[in-house]
Amino acid sequence: MCGRYTLALPSTKLFERFGLEGDAPEITPNYNVAPTQSVAAVLEEDGGRRLEMLRWGLVPSWAKDLSIGSRMINARSETAHEKPSFRSAFKRRRCLIPADGFYEWKREEIGGKQPFHIRMGDGEPFAFAGLWESWDGGEGEVRTCAILTTEANEMMGEIHHRMPVILPADLYEAWLGDEAEKQELASMMEPYPSGPMEAYPVDRFVNKPSNNDPRCIEPAA
């Protein structure tokens, strides 16, 4: 599961990291990215990569309204290729969703759930494997997305049994392209290694989506 993440880097750094083309949309630092918000995503169309803002929560083209998206922020990597809501996007509309960290909540015996911030130890941005869709309810196109999830790696297993699919940079081209077969795509969705990652507890201040400033990622007292 991935229900909240962070992206506080300027778009200029994302352009450099992901080899993007075109104009850079203005991205406000977001320390508490939440479902239904507009999120930055890397799409490859017409032979070039560009950054586009998508609504987080995938809405299939056949859906009656946008509300279904709030229940489809994640797609299980093991079954996305066969689920009616995701299979078309999995085959034809894959994307990268840049982040510099994400949150997960660990159930504690005392005191309820403890939020953790998980990131790369060097602080560098990374990319979730994502799917995107186009939906038109009669008032114009809305593009939406979901983050793929997989089994937790060793580190994440101490916090939660699932984690988002994080793609190594050398797989970006294949993931965004249209040549990869189902088996090759499946091999890309292994849990990211624990070694380069770190996790630390943060204050429950982050629990409220409207709380959105650097206090969200400060280590808990």
pLDDT at 48: 84
Count of domains for the chain = 1
Would you state the pLDDT for residue 179? 84
Least confident segment among 24-28, 34-38, 172-176: 24-28
Tell me the per-residue pLDDT of 51-103, one tens digit each, with 9 for 90 and over.
Answer: 999 999 999 999 998 999 999 999 999 999 999 999 999 999 999 999 999 99
> Any catalytic annotation for residue 145?
no
Whole-angstrom distance, CA of residue 102 vs CA of residue 91: 26
- pLDDT of 27 reads 86
pTM of the model: 0.96
Q: What percent of the chain has pLDDT over 70?
A: 100
Q: Which of the two residues, 77 and 109, has the higher pLDDT score?
A: 77
Kindly report the CATH number assigned to the domain that includes residue 152: 3.90.1680.10
Per-residue pLDDT at 180 exceeds 90: no
Which residue range(s) make up the domain with 69? 5-217
Q: What is the DSSP string of 87-109?
A: HHHHHH-EEEEEESEEEEEEEPS
Other CB atoms within 10 A of residue 37 CB: 15
User: Of 2, 95, 145, 216, which is the active-site residue?
Assistant: 2
In the predicted model, is pLDDT for residue 25 greater than 80?
A: no
Q: Among the options 16, 78, 82, 104, which is catalytic? A: 104
Cα separation, 125 vs 120, in Å, equals 8
Q: Residue length, the chain? A: 221
Is residue 104 among the annotated active site residues?
A: yes
In our burial notation (b when 16+ CB lie closer than 10 A, e otherwise), range 160-177 reads bebbbbbbeeebbeebbe
Residue 219 is classified by DSSP as: B
Residue 115 near residue 202 (C-beta atoms within 8 A): yes
Reply yes or no on whether the pLDDT at 4 is more than 80: yes
pLDDT at 111 over 80: no
User: Residue 201 pLDDT more than 80?
Assistant: yes
Least confident among 44-48, 58-62, 90-94, 146-150: 44-48
pLDDT of residue 158: 96
